[in-house]
Amino acid sequence: MRQIASITVIVLMFLTACGQQPVKQKKYPITKTDTEWKKLLSPTAYQIMVERGTERPYHNAYYNNHEKGIYVSAATGEPLFSSDDKYDSGTGWPSFTKPINSNAIEVVQDNSLGMSRDEIVEAKTGLHLGHVFDDGPKDKGGLRYCMNSGAFKFIKK
């Protein structure tokens, strides 16, 4: 038991020295084990949403999708983004100026890969969707919601 406590103290000291704070796990309304998510999600959706991965730019399902419809969570079916708010950001990922309902997503701090970014997660599950940046179209609010296609299912109008 002392060894575990010592290791915990060392890890906390390391994180503090690196300028990172330990992450507190928030409770979300929908929780599942990794095994349950693996059964529910495609391998790509699991890698992106649960493991917080990123798909390759220009090699994903929806970056170049110009059909009318909505993008729903691959995990819950919750409507998240609309084709009405989608635009070509030139990044190779689907980009949106705003969500359908701001309560359906949550912005959390992402300090991975030596960067500090605003991560977008689904509000009901805490699963990773993408990131938001302030380099979007100024006339539409200035935000760019840079999302992963694998976190979505597209429903045509």
Residues 23, 36: Cα–Cα separation, whole Å: 23
SS3 155: strand
CB-based contact 80:129 (threshold 8 Å): yes
Q: Which residues are catalytic?
A: 146
- The pair of three-digit structure tokens given for residue 153, joined into one six-digit string: 């299912």
Amino acid at 15: L
Which neighbouring-strand residues pair with 153? 72
> CA nearest 100: which of 115, 85, 112, 118?
85
Residues 137, 89: Cα–Cα separation, whole Å: 9
